[in-house]
Structure 1
Amino acid sequence: MGNLAYAVIFGFVIATGLPLNGASLWILLRHHTINSPSAVFMVNLAISDLVLIVSLTMRVYFYATGTWPFGNMACIWVTMLFRNNIRTSSIFITFISVDRLLAVVFPLRSRFLRTTSKAWKAAALVWVMVVVVNIPESVGFLRTLRKKEHACFVFYNDTRQLEDDTETLNVVIDYFQLVLLFTMLAVNIVSTVLVSWTIQRHLNESARVNNKVNVMLIFAMNLMMFTVFFLPVSLVVFFEDYRPILSCIASLNCCLDPLLYYFSFDGFWKRKEDVDTSLARE
């Protein structure tokens, strides 16, 4: 796949993801007051996507022109924003899955955990974590750029020619992201199984079928996000030559997150109280 194709794909993500996520964030803040943990996590997920989408304009410029006039620090910032989106998106999507798991499986016992204040604290902790990881990661990438004459986004492959400490740092962070995503994927799988079992076993025939379908559709979308978008780009630590292609694929997750918001509120959260009541009566 040539550089022009990368520019077209990233341009598509900008043209599609910017209005969708912008509208989603506006709707979340305007029509769904931030009074539930799920809404808090969705707002943070939309912000993460919007930040990434804005940064993709520089990637489009690079792949369309083949030049990078913005300097090393801009390259590092754009790279970090992309990596942060993968990390924060995977965590916030997992938080949403766990919140729904608690609402369906433990509706009464989990109410003290599922509060807006605790959700904001968890979201803040996520952002602090990714910033802390960015500090040594940025140092490693900056050393790579200074050691070898590379254009931006083409500086990953030659880290073996750097000092041992820089190479080790880059590898450790790559594996950290891989372990993080596998852990989040495992949590999503367990949540999906438990919610599916609970819905089939406990929801009586008076429960609307559309509600059941939408609940499981959200979990299916979450698992798809991991297997199609997040994990492949993290496995690139073993297949460095495919990094540009997998980065393009991973960026497409920004265009699908608005569907998660739609199904979460229209298909589940508007009827959350009814679901909790049904479960409490069992």
Structure 2
Amino acid sequence: NGSEGCSTERSVLSQAATSVSIYVILALGLPLNGLGLWVFWCRLRGWTETRVYMANLVAADCLLLLSLPGVLHTLGQAAGAQEGVLCRAVQSFYYVNTYMSICLITAIATDRYAALRFPLRSRAWRSPRQAALTCLALWLLVFGAVALPASWLRAGESFCFGRGRTRGPGTLAFSLLLFLLPLLVVSFCSWQVLRRLARKRARSPPQDAAHILRALHVVAANLATFLLCFLPLHVALLAMLVARWTDAACPTLQAVAAFVQATSRVANANCCLDAVSYYFVAKEFQEEVGAVLSTSRPFRGRIK
């Protein structure tokens, strides 16, 4: 048994690097997302589909940031430490807001694609009220999906991960399944939007082409941020799951565990990167590209 007696406990240096990265994310993310929360909930007068999704995204990012001190506490637990209710609650809170961010980014990409691919038909079902109901359904879905692996653990399985503990197989499988579908949807919708914008830009006069080019940059940056933040983590989780299933040697398990730890910190940085994209998406895509790509005057105000 290659994994029997194998320790994946973090070194002192790795533990310190993890702590510093979380403090940096908190220092940058809290003011950025606090400002975003204030703008979306207090300053914007009219609610549109995109603004509803964005307001929920900034709320999920803020809640994720608030969970990081608790995660920092669980990371400091020694190998073999007993998992308590507080540990599982903090870990569940972290998972909920991480995957809620992923689901909301998916919803934004889908809404953006529908508005461009079916501009007239989508008017019948694209509305702030429908976006709010979609967000409510996503919150309930993610809460339920996180609660299942947290409450149905078998003997010897772990849900929390501490200094000498990695996620159990059930939690790993849950994380991968909850990411795979959003990955496919975001990639497909973003690619289709980029293609349509590029074609439209090639046929547009110079003044309109400049607006479309800015929107191309926004959509491409959103897709790149999503892939950069979340794909490495889930590749690492898949590697960990495969290593356990194949009973990999201890050095392999230790290397994969270190990979998971590093990519987890990269995924947390999404809180800060989202805060930058809130404003670019709201301004560039809604106001400029929505006006250029609208096929009729009544639809001009709908891509918001």
Normalising by structure 2, we get a TM-score of 0.76
Distance in 2, Cα, partners of 1:120 & 1:97: 16
Equivalence for 1:238: 239
| CA positional deviation for 1:252 | 0.5
Matches within 5 A, 1:115-134: 115-134=127-146
**1:194–1:151 Cα change, 3 Å:** closer
**1:11–1:29 Cα change, 3 Å:** same
Q: Which amino acid aligns with 1:156?
A: T
| CA positional deviation for 1:272 | 5.2
| CA positional deviation for 1:197 | 2.6
1:6-61 deviation line (CA, Å, top 9, x unaligned): 00000011110011011011111223335211111111111111111011112345
Distance in 2, Cα, partners of 1:57 & 1:250: 16
The answer on whether the counterparts of 1:11 and 1:60 sit within 8 Å (CA) in structure 2 is: no
Say whether 1:108 aligns with 2:120: yes
| CA positional deviation for 1:130 | 1.2
The answer on whether the counterparts of 1:28 and 1:34 sit within 8 Å (CA) in structure 2 is: no
Say whether 1:9 aligns with 2:21: yes
Count how many residue pairs are aligned between Structure 1 and Structure 2: 266
Distance in 2, Cα, partners of 1:198 & 1:20: 32
One of 190, 198, 201 as aligned partner of 1:200: 198
Say whether 1:250 aligns with 2:267: yes
One of 26, 35, 38 as aligned partner of 1:26: 38
Equivalence for 1:162: none
The answer on whether the counterparts of 1:4 and 1:63 sit within 8 Å (CA) in structure 2 is: no
**1:131–1:88 Cα change, 3 Å:** same
Distance in 2, Cα, partners of 1:237 & 1:146: 17
Q: Which amino acid aligns with 1:182?
A: L
| CA positional deviation for 1:245 | 1.8
Equivalence for 2:9: none
Matches within 5 A, 1:1-282: 2-33=14-45, 35-61=47-73, 72-140=84-152, 144=156, 152=162, 154-156=164-166, 159=168, 170=170, 173-203=171-201, 204-205=204-205, 207-235=207-235, 236-239=237-240, 241=257, 242-271=259-288, 273-277=290-294, 279-280=295-296
The runs of at least 4 consecutive aligned structure 1 residues that moved more than 3 Å come to: 59-67, 140-147, 150-155, 206-210
| CA positional deviation for 1:210 | 4.2
Q: Which amino acid aligns with 2:197?
A: I
Q: Which amino acid aligns with 2:239?
A: F
Distance in 2, Cα, partners of 1:274 & 1:146: 51
CA RMSD of aligned residues (A): 3.1
1:107-150 deviation line (CA, Å, top 9, x unaligned): 22211221111111111111111111122211245955789xx9
The answer on whether the counterparts of 1:28 and 1:39 sit within 8 Å (CA) in structure 2 is: yes
Distance in 2, Cα, partners of 1:183 & 1:11: 31
**1:32–1:58 Cα change, 3 Å:** same
The answer on whether the counterparts of 1:55 and 1:81 sit within 8 Å (CA) in structure 2 is: yes
Distance in 2, Cα, partners of 1:143 & 1:134: 18
Distance in 2, Cα, partners of 1:45 & 1:208: 30
Specify the SS of the correspondent of 1:110: helix
The answer on whether the counterparts of 2:229 and 2:269 sit within 8 Å (CA) in structure 1 is: yes
Distance in 1, Cα, partners of 2:124 & 2:151: 41
1:71-116 deviation line (CA, Å, top 9, x unaligned): 7222112222222233211111111112122223322221122111
| Structure 2: segments with no counterpart, 5+ residues | 1-12, 241-255, 298-304
Q: Which amino acid aligns with 1:275?
A: V
The answer on whether the counterparts of 1:101 and 1:191 sit within 8 Å (CA) in structure 2 is: yes
Specify the SS of the correspondent of 1:79: helix
| Structure 1: segments with no counterpart, 5+ residues | 160-166
Equivalent pairs: percent with the same residue? 25
